[in-house]
Amino acid sequence: MPREGRAALPLEGRVAVVTGAGRGLGRAEALELARLGAAVVVNDLGQPGRDGSGDASPAPAEEVAADIRAAGGRAVAHTGDVADHERARELVESAVAEFGRLDVLVNNAGILRDRMVFSMSEDEWDSVIRVHLKGHFNTIRFASAHWRSRSKAADAPVYGRIVNTSSEAFLAGSAGQPNYAAAKGGIVGLTTSTALALAKYGVTANAICPRARTRMTADVFAGSPEPREGVTDPLAPEHVAPLVGYLASPAAARVNGQLLVVHGGMVAVVERPRVAAKFDTKQDAFTYDELDALLTPHYADRPPGETFAAAEVLGLTHE
């Protein structure tokens, strides 16, 4: 409940889980959700370390949860691996056990193992698919069951928000990231399927493609210019977090099954694929010769590098 004399915050009384929230993008998202009033379960696999003096330092998730509590919010840490099915179950259950419910799930946890497809090892493929795509599925699996159960018990829709993390690597076809691009494309398919499946229960699911300078993307943006002193970094995670807060809020009730690109003071809504051309056989079934006569001229004048990938998204900037 809002304190007397203060207007209610958009996420007042809501409970959120943010995965991969110990650093970078997930940390900024967890802090933003807390600022908007949500109690937050901060998930990150990072373990305790040592500070500059050699003393033990808390796990990253514990640090972020402590920052939220120090600012007057409510937060607990969870250090399980969301790519592990049972740890993901425990994560959702921990939100319910600690705060009585779950309202918002933000999937952000991920890793990079970049390599060209002809050089990629099986483990480099499997590990990225496991953390990104399976990790998203695992948490959605248990969060959606929680919301479905609550909706059936109430015989009415409940409040649920899922924000998944895709990438421009999927949209633009990143040549050196076949594992990452495939996982992020899979997340979009998972998002749209989930959006349709859960709408009747009052739950929305959307995906964002953020561009941010974090520890995970340090090599990706190594060539990007560093921000000038006193100027906000266009690649700062703080440019992304407000959109996550909005998609988690009641105001976004009609935003469902959408894909949005966000970075540097800009949000772009990505249009769904549309049919560019359609060909019908003049016989009972297509033959090779008929397809050759139809498709070869169709592609003859297309730019040689043009594919289904939308490389133009990489040129989006704040104006």
Runs of H (alpha helix) within 155-287: 168-172, 178-198, 241-247
CA distance 273 to 259: 11
CA distance 127 to 302: 37
Nearest to 25 by CA among 156, 211, 290, 277: 211
Identify how many contiguous H helices and E strands the chain contains and give both numbers. Answer: 9, 10
CA distance 179 to 295: 30
Give residue for tokens 């990438």.
167
Name the residue type at position 122: E
Q: Over the Cα atoms of the chain, what is R_g?
A: 22
Nearest to 42 by CA among 58, 55, 26, 54: 26
The catalytic site residues sit at 167, 180, 184
3-state secondary structure of 268: strand
3-state secondary structure of 290: helix
Instruction: Spell 245-281 as b/e; 16+ CB within 10 A means b.
Output: bbbbbeebeebbbbbbbbbbeebeebeeeeeeeeeee
Name the residue type at position 204: T
